[in-house]
Structure 1
Amino acid sequence: MSRGRIARWMLEETGEPYETVLVDWTDKPTALLAANPLGKVPTIEHDGHVVSEAAAICAYCAEAFPAAGLAPTAAERAPYLRWMFFTAGPLEAAMMDKALGAEVPAAKRGMVGYGSFAEAVDTLEHAVSRAPYVAGDRFTAADVYVGSAVGWFTQFGMLDKRPAFTDYLARLWNRPAWVRAREIDDALMPAA
Structure 2
Amino acid sequence: MISDRKLTFYHAIPSRSSTVHWMLHELGIEFDVKMLDFRKGEGQTSEYLAINPLGKVPTIVHGDTVVTEAAAICCYLADAYPEAGLAPAADDPIRGEYLRWLFFSPATIEPAFIDRVRQYEAEDCSQNSYRNWETLMPILLDVVGKADPWVLGQKFTTVDVVLGATIRFGCMFGILPKDPVFEAYIVRIDARPAYQRAQELDAPYFAAAMAG
TM-score class, shorter: over 0.9
Q: CA deviation at 1:158?
A: 0.4
CA shift digits 1:158-190 (9 cap, x unpaired): 011211111111111111000000111112220
The answer to whether structure 1 residue 22 and structure 2 residue 35 are counterparts is yes
CA distance in 1, matches of 2:48, 2:146: 39
Q: Which residue of 2 aligns with 1:158?
A: 175
Q: How does 1:1-192 map to 2 (within 5 A)?
A: 1-26=14-39, 27=41, 28=43, 29-73=45-89, 74-105=92-123, 108-132=124-148, 133-189=150-206, 190=208, 192=211
Q: Percent identity?
A: 39
Q: SS at the partner of 2:66?
A: strand
Q: Which moved more, 1:96-105 or 1:52-61?
A: 96-105
Q: SS at the partner of 1:21?
A: strand
CA distance in 2, matches of 1:50, 1:84: 20
Q: Is the 8 A contact 1:125 1:164 kept in 2?
A: yes
**Residue segments in structure 1 that go unaligned for 5+ positions in a row:** none
Q: CA deviation at 1:80?
A: 1.3
Q: CA deviation at 1:131?
A: 2.8
Q: CA deviation at 1:110?
A: 0.9
Q: SS at the partner of 2:32?
A: coil
CA shift digits 1:109-132 (9 cap, x unpaired): 111111111221221111112232
Q: CA deviation at 1:83?
A: 1.1
What TM-score results when the alignment is normalised by the length of structure 1?
A: 0.93
User: What amino acid maps onto 1:19 in structure 2?
Assistant: D
Q: Is the 8 A contact 1:10 1:141 kept in 2?
A: yes
User: What amino acid maps onto 1:119 in structure 2?
Assistant: T
CA distance in 2, matches of 1:69, 1:31: 34
Ranges of 4+ aligned residues in structure 1 off by more than 4 Å: none
User: What amino acid maps onto 2:54 in structure 1?
Assistant: L
CA distance in 1, matches of 2:75, 2:128: 25
Q: Which residue of 1 aligns with 2:10?
A: none
CA distance in 2, matches of 1:136, 1:78: 14
CA distance in 1, matches of 2:153, 2:46: 41
Q: Is the 8 A contact 1:79 1:134 kept in 2?
A: no
Q: CA deviation at 1:135?
A: 2.0
CA shift digits 1:13-54 (9 cap, x unpaired): 110011111112141233321111001110111121111110
Q: CA deviation at 1:146?
A: 0.3
Q: Which residue of 1 aligns with 2:11?
A: none
Q: Is the 8 A contact 1:114 1:120 kept in 2?
A: yes
